[in-house]
Amino acid sequence: MGRDPATIGRSAGVEVAPLVRAGDSSAPKGAIAGSAEEIADRFLGFRTAGFTQLEVMLEPQTTAALEAMVPVLDILDTA
């Protein structure tokens, strides 16, 4: 109350399965999956929709999944 709405950011939490191909039935339901380019594209869709923060939960929670996100971040750094 009394706060300028323009100063309030929008955030979303998403589950990401970077080791799974898009459309693969082994991906957790609702998770973003696919190539680095596909995942980055989905993330950029949140920006286009006005989100200012994206909280990512990896599935599985492994070093391999974390490392698979490096190319996604590289793409986002140039977007």
Tens digit of each residue's pLDDT (9 = 90 or more) over 23-73: 898 889 999 999 999 999 999 999 999 999 999 999 999 999 999 999 999
Residue among 56, 54, 45 nearest 16 (CA): 56
Distance, first Cα to last Cα, the chain: 35
Inside any domain, residue 22: yes
Inside any domain, residue 5: no
Inside any domain, residue 21: yes
Contact present, 60 and 19 (Cβ < 8 Å): yes
Inside any domain, residue 74: yes
Say how many domains are in the chain. Answer: 1
Residue 19: the pLDDT is 97
Between 4 and 33, the higher pLDDT residue:
33
Q: Is the pLDDT of residue 74 over 90?
A: yes
pTM for the model stands at 0.88
Inside any domain, residue 15: yes
Cα gap 19→4, rounded to integer Å: 41
Six-digit token pair at 53? 């923060």
Residue 2: the pLDDT is 83
